[in-house]
Amino acid sequence: EIVMTQSPDTLSVSPGERATLSCRASQNVNINLAWYQQKPGQAPRLLIYRASTRATGVPARFSGSGSGTEFTLTINSLQSEDFAVYFCQQSNNWPRTFGQGTKVEIK
């Protein structure tokens, strides 16, 4: 099983600043990596797939990069609605696995 490890667990950021979230896979997942945002009481929302492609309707301030085992989600100029938990997920191998999540909170 591929273990996905996200860092940090919590990120404190001021509105308007940039947030950089990391995700590391225990094995090569190529670019089969997605990022999701989840707010309290809501289902996850797809942000990025294939490591760097924004999903439909996702603002351009969200960007993804990386391949292999190291991935990054960058959120530029954080807006109030961006404070949430973010998960990475690999689709390269079975079972599909998720990271433990990074909470982005208001500083």
- In angstroms, the CA 93 to CA 100 distance is 18
Q: If phi over 0 gives left and psi between -120 and 50 gives alpha, with beta otherwise, what is residue 26?
A: alpha
- In angstroms, the CA 97 to CA 85 distance is 16
Give the binding range for other proteins (CB under 8 A) out of 7-15, 21-29, 74-82, 93-101: 93-101
Q: Which is nearer to other proteins, 16 or 62 (CB)?
A: 62
Q: Give me the 59-88 binding string for other proteins, x by CB under 8 A, dash otherwise.
A: ----------------------------x-
According to CB under 8 A, which one of 19, 36, 37, 75 is a site residue for other proteins? Answer: 36
